[in-house]
């Protein structure tokens, strides 16, 4: 947990520091080549254009952050929903015939173990889910073999079949969330917009170069951090802010408690 709470700081610094250093060096070079008086002639036009570019880019970036945050939240909810459905199935298996209870609970455990220990690390690989599909088939087959002995068991059995459909939907939704990302066109717009916004700082010529360097560094650092945030939220199952299989691990704890 300590690693997860601090890794985003280290990785974001690895993105921000090079961006800041490059921008400062470019500014220093421009100020060495172009005089302050020449740059001051650009202030009126550059300032007006810079304000327009800044507003446009802030709107685009703001909506993008909201979009990827919603994507991240939905992915978390899908994971929790899948885990809750598995818990429901494991619990209701106790009210099915004893001959089927053990098999159903065994394949449910196998599914949870595979998800949390193996499939989670390969969530982006579409070919890494073949074993999980086999386990899903085993789950369906185990319910197919159930023969309810009375009307009460039929109620629990029908409820379990409905939950199986919900489980499949939650699983597919989780997989889609791990595959869907911002388009290349959108990333081009975000990165190009950040570069253009920072480049406008080079058209200004402040008498105090240190202050201009400081403002440029703050702008470059902030924009690079925002892009890093967008990337992290867009890749919900990878990176330092990746969603972890804690819900499935908690479900295993419930399984152990219900087996006692």
**Range 222-245 average pLDDT:** 89
Three-state SS for 148?
Answer: coil
**pLDDT digits 0-9 by tens, 43-58:** 989 899 999 999 999 9
Is the pLDDT at 127 greater than 60? The verdict is no
Phi, psi (degrees; rounded to nearest 5) at 16: -75, -45
Instruction: Band the pLDDT of 260: cuts 50, 70, 90.
Output: low
What's the burial of 99, exposed, middle or buried (CB within 10 Å: 0-12/13-18/19+)? exposed
Q: How confident is the model at residue 130 (pLDDT cuts 50, 70, 90)?
A: low
233/250 Cα distance (integer angstroms) = 24
Is the per-residue pLDDT at 203 higher than 60? yes
**Percentage of residues in the chain with pLDDT exceeding 70?**
93
What percentage of the chain has pLDDT greater than the value 90? Answer: 56
Query: How confident is the model at residue 24, as a pLDDT?
Result: 95
Better-predicted residue by pLDDT, 95 or 118: 95
First-to-last C-alpha distance (Å) of the chain: 29
Delimit the domains of the chain by residue range. 2-259
Q: How confident is the model at residue 240 (pLDDT cuts 50, 70, 90)?
A: confident
Residue matched to tokens 């810079």:
50
Q: Residue 79: pLDDT band by 50, 70, 90 thresholds?
A: very high
CA–CA dist 116, 228 (Å, integer): 26
Q: Which residue, 97, 112, 57, 133, is CA-closest to 248?
A: 112
Instruction: Share the mean pLDDT of the chain.
Output: 88
- In angstroms, what CA-CA distances link 137 with 97, 146, 164? 20, 15, 11
Above 50 in pLDDT, residue 4?
A: no
- Interhelix angle 151-179/130-144, rounded to 10 degrees, is 170
**Start-end of H helices in the chain:** 2-33, 36-40, 43-92, 98-117, 130-144, 151-179, 184-199, 209-234, 246-259
């Amino acid at each position: 947990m300590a690693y997860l709470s601090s890794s985003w700081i280290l990785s974001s610094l690895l993105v921000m520091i090079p961006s800041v250093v490059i921008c400062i060096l470019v500014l220093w070079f421009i100020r060495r080549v172009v005089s302050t008086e020449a740059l001051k002639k650009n202030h009126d036009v550059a300032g007006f254009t810079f304000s327009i570019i800044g507003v446009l880019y802030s709107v685009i970036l703001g909506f993008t952050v909201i979009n990827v945050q919603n994507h991240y939240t939905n992915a978390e909810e899908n994971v929790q929903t899948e885990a809750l459905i598995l818990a429901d199935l494991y619990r209701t298996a106790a009210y099915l015939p004893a001959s089927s209870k053990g098999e159903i609970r065994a394949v449910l455990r196998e599914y949870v173990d595979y998800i949390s220990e193996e499939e989670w690390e390969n969530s982006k690989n579409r070919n890494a889910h073949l074993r999980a599909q086999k386990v899903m088939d085993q789950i369906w087959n185990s319910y197919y073999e159930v023969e309810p002995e009375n009307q009460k068991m039929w109620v629990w059995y029908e409820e379990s079949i409905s939950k199986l459909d919900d489980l499949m939907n939650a699983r597919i939704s989780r997989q889609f969330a791990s595959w869907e990302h911002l388009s290349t066109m959108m990333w081009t717009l975000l990165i190009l917009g950040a570069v253009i916004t920072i480049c406008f700082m080079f058209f200004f010529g402040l008498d105090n170069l240190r202050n201009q360097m400081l403002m440029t560094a703050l702008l470059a650092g902030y924009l690079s951090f925002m892009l890093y945030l967008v990337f992290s939220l867009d890749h919900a199952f990878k990176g330092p802010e990746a969603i972890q299989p804690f819900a499935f691990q908690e479900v295993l704890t419930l399984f152990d408690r219900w087996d006692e």
